Amino acid sequence: MPADDSPADTPSALGEQGVDRAAAARATLASVPAEPGAAKPDPILVMDGLIRAFGGLTAVDVEHLEIQRGCITGLIGPNGAGKTTLFNLLTGFDRANTGSWAYEGRSLSRLPPHRVARRGVVRTFQLTKALAKLTVLDNMRLGATGQSGESFLGALFTSWGRQEKANTEKARELLARFRLDVKADDLAGSLSGGQRKLLEMARALMMDPTVLMLDEPMAGVNPVLTQSLLGHVKSLRDDGMTVVFVEHDMDVIRDISDWVVVMAQGRIIAEGPPEALSFNRAVVDAYLGAHHDRALEFDSEGNPVGETAELVAEMENAELAEQPGPAGPAGPAGPAAREREERS
């Protein structure tokens, strides 16, 4: 399958009236300071004091975050940073302990997922949710909203057949756009992993969302389909849609993101354009550890000394603290600690 990465001056890369959406998005964000919680010129999603804790573990602790309208915002961070939990909170699949979040100035707090989706905020999942025993076309038609035939009275007293025909036409158009039209009558369970990702994205568009939230859309997808997915995500922005997506591949982030938000241990530690984050110390430390560039010091016998000895002791004590019994916190100290005791 050929890639969809069209040149910037072709119609597929331009929005309405020939506007280059990518350039316009970058220009809009050019004056925004690259710092956590930075105010955006025209935010469509705003979060304040958002906290979600599981027992003693705080999975999300977002003091303030704004998502710019009409842009592609990448959400990155190490595993366990809280990215998917944040998606769950914003789309009603989980409940926050405290905090508020709003879409277009209207609160989404406490709304169930279907009502969030009806407002215009639609998401996909890391693991695709296609109904395997239905056809690809039927999966698409299920994504349409406001179907009168879903209610008893609506099925009896409205012309739902006309609406079904319109939904089918729209579904076929989207399948053609995502190059799945030849699979329309196949069972969704027969699709490859990459094709299921395309189907889930296409089905989300059946709801005509204003904000589309994609949770690791490129995960497990072969390189050819990855290029196709990248082209489709860019085309969503070109259509004026706001896209927020979770991704681990930094090449993908640099390719399609207008703005990047970085999470670590549930907090927003950095924001900025993708090209600036490679040199952000907080981001490097989050991925590689705060000691990744520290010089190691050893004496003539190969024993750690100075800051290196302190670092070794920290690691040993943390490891011992996780072990029950005599080797636990009250157990014997590690060799670095013993060496310091002997010297004292």
pLDDT in tens, 125-154: 888 888 889 999 999 998 888 766 666 666
pLDDT of residue 11: 41
CA 175, 1, 11 angle in degrees (round to 5)?
Answer: 65
Where is average pLDDT lowest: 3-12, 39-48, 277-286? 3-12
pLDDT in tens, 41-63: 999 999 999 999 998 899 999 99
pLDDT in tens, 253-270: 888 999 999 998 899 999
Residue 328, pLDDT above cutoff 60: no
Most confident of the ranges 176-185, 282-291, 303-312: 176-185
Percent of the chain with pLDDT over 70: 77
In this prediction, residues 63-83 reach a mean pLDDT of: 93
Q: Is the pTM of this model over 0.85?
A: no
Q: Kindly report the length of the chain.
A: 344
Residue 296, pLDDT above cutoff 70: no
CB within 8 Å of 158: residues ≥ 6 apart: 148, 149
